[in-house]
């Protein structure tokens, strides 16, 4: 057996090895996103070194169309299989009455099967591969594949969201009006709050902001923990993040505990509450914990909803009687078995844990639920919660499972679930419009293709448009009521317009060309969109190392066609983090302002820029150099009255007057 035959045999057998949930590309991507970056990653920058352009698809619910497109039909008229494979409604194969023994058996059999197949594969490799079987050229090829794998992991999508405004100050950009999201900088119109992680823990600083004057009132540190996000509710400060392993190894040269990786199987998250009614002397109220690494959270109608991902230890590390090692815990107490779902009795090696906390009470969790599986992508509005898990098949295809919960006054109620062909990779790819659930997806089966599905309240398919952006991948999505805009990225740049006024008969209205590549979209008034992405001055639309941050201003015509009416390009070899964190972007539609941090790799510096849109033209009105070379991950812009604050959690606050954009502090 020659070297090629050996490799072919290993590759063939390895296709039968199921990948643990914690090692799927999306989990690794999530882990990378949750790891705070202090320097730019070469792999992160590599994704912009691919020749590319983009397309924006527009889905609308009014107007005259070309012809109906039924689900099961491509937009060119050819037939295709339905994207939705199975739907389960509460009460139908519900599997709600789960016992601890059933949970153990499902987890243990899943892990044991994985372990046996891994060991079999390693035995094959050790028996048939001589030490000299890989030459230098083959080694280079393997390294190139590894680089491409890193690139695909890091090519995540991030999208814009609509923001709400209360009082005369800006708030964190959110996806759904009325559903609050956390961030690293917050204001209540009088104070500015910042969080900063260090080896000592999470440090919270409270400033008083009165016009041009900013004075530090107090700061405190939560030891042995990090803080991913925070909220302000009245005089209560809510901090969410991960707890450190206090019994684990210490860092070299320090007495501090080792910080758990975000997806470590033993990790726990925290919700910590402080009373800042006296900003000079904030007081701790209490700290709650739940199993799993912090994923995301929302506040709705006075309740905090928190979602974590809990990875289970290796099968040989626990027995059936050691429930604390395979059952999630809340404040150190294992969850009741009836609060844990086991979808279709399938096994997994991780949980989604979700809790609710009434903020006016904040004594204990109002409700909690856990689901076996890696449900790590969430969409939430005032009535429903959707959680998505992606499962990778042996042939490279991706299947997604959607769970739908209703919630009321902190109580969770399972409603339905659906299995689909394709991947929903981002919460901003989902939307509810009237009585329908709408999502965009990418499917990989020999080629990449994208589409949009419309479901009824029970997650049963009512309509679909598919085969959009062939050999491309969705990069951004933005919904405005009955309109959905999404960007696909690879080689071409068509713009699709689809009418979904009749959810059973989506209609392709138009297909046109639009230059540019946007990985972030946001409404900008009644008839415009702002896009942030990458652009180049080179002809042909190819992306190179000289690629630069691009702002595009799009007009929306009466027939829903988009037209790029203005654009601005930053310096060569620049990048923003708008594509990985929409909360880092400041958007003030009323005043026509947009702000973002930009890193300049060529000159090893970074800055925060503010742009104004007036009469269809973009103009840079402010540029602030940041204290750290690549400090765009820790900077935010916010407005209080007539003053704009550039808040660098590592380097302080600068204040500018929005009428003159002159520095006042």
Q: What would the pLDDT profile of 260-310 be if each residue is shown by its tens digit?
A: 444 343 489 999 999 999 999 999 999 999 999 999 999 999 999 999 999
Please classify residue 553 by burial: count the beta carbons closer than 10 Å to its beta carbon, then call 0-12 exposed, 13-18 middle and 19+ buried: buried
Reported residue count of the chain is 665
Distance CA 488, CA 477 (A): 9
β-strands 340-341, 367-372 pairing: parallel
The H-or-E segment that residue 230 falls in is: strand 229-233
Q: Using alpha carbons, list the distances in angstroms from residue 501 to 63, 438, 480, 486.
A: 9, 12, 14, 18
- Inform me whether the pLDDT recorded for 598 exceeds 80: yes
Kindly compute the dihedral angle of the four CA atoms of residues 121, 123, 127, 129, in this order, to the nearest 10 degrees: 40
Query: What is the reported pLDDT for 580?
Result: 84
Within a 10 A sphere around the Cβ of 153, how many other Cβ atoms? 19
Query: Tokens 């902190």 sit at which residue?
Result: 410
* pLDDT computed for residue 566 by the predictor: 93
Alpha helices, DSSP H only, in 135-225?
136-154
Distances 355 to 266, 296, 367, 403, 407 between C-alpha atoms, Å: 18, 11, 6, 16, 11
> What does the pLDDT read at residue 220?
96
Those residues whose C-beta lies under 8 Å from the C-beta of residue 592, and which sit 6 or more positions away, are: 524, 525, 612, 613, 614
Residue predicted with more confidence, 70 or 150: 70
In this predicted structure, what is the pLDDT of residue 558?
Answer: 79
Burial class, 570, CB count within 10 angstroms (exposed 0-12 / middle 13-18 / buried 19+): buried
Provide the 8-state DSSP code for 93.
S
Q: Tell me the pairing of strands 283-291 and 268-275.
A: antiparallel
- Tell me the pTM: 0.81
C-alpha distances in angstroms, 17 versus 115, 276, 300, 374, 549?
A: 9, 53, 42, 18, 41
Q: Are 451 and 470 in contact (CB under 8 A)?
A: no
Do β-strands 84-89 and 185-187 pair in parallel, antiparallel, or remain unpaired?
Answer: unpaired
pLDDT at 141: 30
DSSP state of 50: S
Closest CA to 20 of 391, 472, 473: 391
Non-local CB neighbours of 146 within 8 Å, separated by 6+ positions = none
For 76-130, the pLDDT digits (tens) are 333 446 788 877 777 654 455 789 999 999 998 888 877 776 666 555 444 443 4
CB 205 within 8 A of CB 184: no
Give dist(CA 255, CA 121) in Å, integer.
41
Q: What is the pLDDT of residue 539?
A: 45
- Give the up-direction half-sphere exposure of residue 301: CA atoms within 13 A in the CB hemisphere: 11
pLDDT at position 5 over 60: no
Share of the chain above pLDDT 70, in %: 68
Of 236, 303, 329, 306, nearest to 274 by C-alpha is 236
pLDDT digits (tens, 9 = 90+) for 350-376: 999 999 999 998 789 999 999 999 999
Is the model's pLDDT at 440 over the cut of 80? Answer: yes
Q: Minimum mean pLDDT among 136-145, 567-576, 605-614: which range?
A: 136-145
DSSP 317: G
Are the CB atoms for 49 and 543 separated by under 8 Å? yes
What pLDDT sits at residue 498?
66
In this prediction, residue 621 carries a pLDDT of 98
Residue 201 three-state SS: strand
Query: Does residue 207 have a pLDDT over 90?
Result: yes
Per-residue pLDDT band for 459 (boundaries 50, 70, 90) equals very high
Strands 635-640, 329-330: pairing kind:
unpaired
φ/ψ of residue 84, rounded to 5: -85, 120
Place of tokens 């910590």: 272
56 is written with which tokens? 């924006």
Per-residue pLDDT band for 637 (boundaries 50, 70, 90) equals: very high
Residue 618 has a CB neighbour count (10 Å cut-off) of 18
Strand partners of residue 563: 555
| Most confident among 115-119, 317-321, 475-479, 654-658 (mean pLDDT) | 654-658
Block residue for tokens 């527009």 = 58
What angle (nearest 5°) sits at the alpha carbon of residue 102, between those of residues 99 and 106?
A: 145
Give the model's pLDDT for residue 479: 66
Rounded (5°) CA angle 447-451-453:
140
Instruction: Specify the 3-state DSSP secondary structure of 450.
Output: strand
352, 370 contact by CB (below 8 A) = yes
What are the tokens at 445?
A: 């089966």
> Is pLDDT at 546 greater than 70 in this prediction?
no
Residue 503 confidence (pLDDT) = 80
User: Average pLDDT, stretch 21-30?
Assistant: 50
Q: Of 32-41, 94-103, 296-305, 537-546, where does the model show the most confidence?
A: 296-305
pLDDT reported for residue 278: 97
Confidence (pLDDT) at 520: 85
pLDDT digits (tens, 9 = 90+) for 488-515: 765 445 556 667 777 887 766 656 555 5
């Amino acid at each position: 057996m020659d070297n090629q035959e050996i490799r072919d045999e290993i590759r063939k057998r390895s296709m039968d090895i199921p990948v643990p949930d914690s090692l799927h590309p999306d989990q690794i991507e999530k882990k990378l996103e949750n790891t705070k970056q202090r320097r730019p990653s070469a792999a992160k920058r590599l994704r912009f070194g691919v020749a590319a352009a983009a397309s924006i698809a527009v889905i609308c619910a009014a107007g005259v169309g070309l012809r109906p497109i039924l689900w099961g039909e491509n937009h060119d008229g050819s037939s295709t299989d339905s994207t939705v494979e199975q739907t389960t409604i509460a009460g139908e194969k519900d599997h709600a009455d789960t016992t601890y023994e059933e949970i153990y058996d499902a987890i243990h059999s899943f892990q044991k099967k994985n372990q046996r197949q891994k060991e079999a594969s390693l035995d094959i490799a050790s028996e048939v591969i001589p030490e000299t079987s890989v030459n230098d050229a083959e080694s280079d090829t393997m390294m190139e594949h590894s680089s491409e794998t890193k690139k695909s992991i890091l090519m995540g999508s991030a999208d814009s969201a609509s923001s709400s405004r209360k009082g005369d100050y800006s708030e964190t950009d959110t996806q759904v009006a009325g559903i609050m999201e956390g961030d690293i900088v917050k204001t209540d119109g009088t104070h500015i709050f910042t969080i900063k992680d260090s080896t000592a823990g999470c440090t919270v600083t409270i400033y008083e902001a009165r016009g041009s004057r900013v004075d530090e009132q107090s700061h405190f540190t939560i030891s042995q923990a990090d803080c991913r996000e925070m909220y302000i509710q009245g005089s209560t400060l809510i901090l969410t993040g991960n707890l450190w392993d206090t019994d684990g190894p210490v860092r070299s040269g320090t007495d501090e505990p080792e910080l758990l990786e975000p997806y470590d199987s033993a990790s726990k998250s925290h919700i910590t509450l402080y009373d800042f009614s006296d900003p000079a002397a904030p007081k701790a109220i209490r700290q709650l914990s739940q199993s799993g690494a912090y994923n995301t959270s929302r506040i709705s109608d006075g309740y905090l909803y928190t979602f974590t991902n809990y990875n289970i230890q290796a099968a040989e590390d626990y027995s059936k009687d050691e429930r604390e090692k395979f059952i999630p815990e809340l404040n150190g107490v294992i969850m009741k078995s009836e609060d844990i779902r086991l979808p279709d009795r399938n096994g997994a090696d991780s949980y989604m844990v979700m809790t609710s906390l009434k903020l006016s009470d904040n004594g204990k969790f109002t409700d909690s639920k856990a689901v076996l599986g890696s449900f790590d992508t969430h969409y939430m509005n005032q009535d429903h919660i959707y959680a998505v898990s992606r499962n990778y098949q042996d042939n490279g295809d991706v299947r997604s499972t959607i769970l739908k919960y209703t919630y009321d006054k902190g109580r969770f109620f399972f409603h339905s679930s659906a299995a689909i062909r394709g991947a929903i990779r981002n919460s901003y790819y989902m939307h509810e419009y009237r009585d329908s659930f709408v999502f965009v997806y990418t499917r990989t089966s020999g080629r990449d293709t994208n589409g949009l599905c419309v479901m009824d309240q029970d997650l049963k398919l009512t309509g679909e448009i598919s085969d959009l952006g062939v050999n491309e991948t969705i990069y951004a999505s933005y919904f405005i009521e009955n309109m959905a805009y999404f960007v696909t990225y690879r080689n071409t740049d068509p713009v699709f317009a689809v009418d979904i006024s009749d959810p059973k008969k989506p209609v392709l209205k138009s297909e046109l060309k639009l230059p540019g590549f946007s990985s972030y979209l946001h409404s900008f008034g009644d008839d415009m969109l702002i896009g942030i992405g990458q652009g180049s001055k080179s002809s042909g639309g190819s992306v190179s190392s000289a690629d630069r941050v691009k702002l595009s201003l799009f007009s929306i015509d009466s027939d829903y066609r988009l037209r790029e009416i203005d654009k601005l390009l930053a310096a060569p070899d620049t990048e923003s983090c708008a594509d990985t964190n929409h909360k880092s972007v400041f958007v003030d539609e009323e005043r026509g302002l947009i702000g973002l941090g930009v890193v300049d790799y060529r000159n090893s510096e970074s800055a925060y820029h503010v742009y104004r849109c007036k009469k269809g033209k973009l103009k840079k009105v402010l540029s602030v150099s940041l204290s750290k070379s690549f400090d765009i991950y820790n900077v935010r812009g916010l407005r209080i009255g007539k003053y704009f604050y550039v808040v660098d959690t590592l380097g302080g606050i600068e204040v500018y007057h929005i009428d003159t954009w002159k520095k006042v502090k």
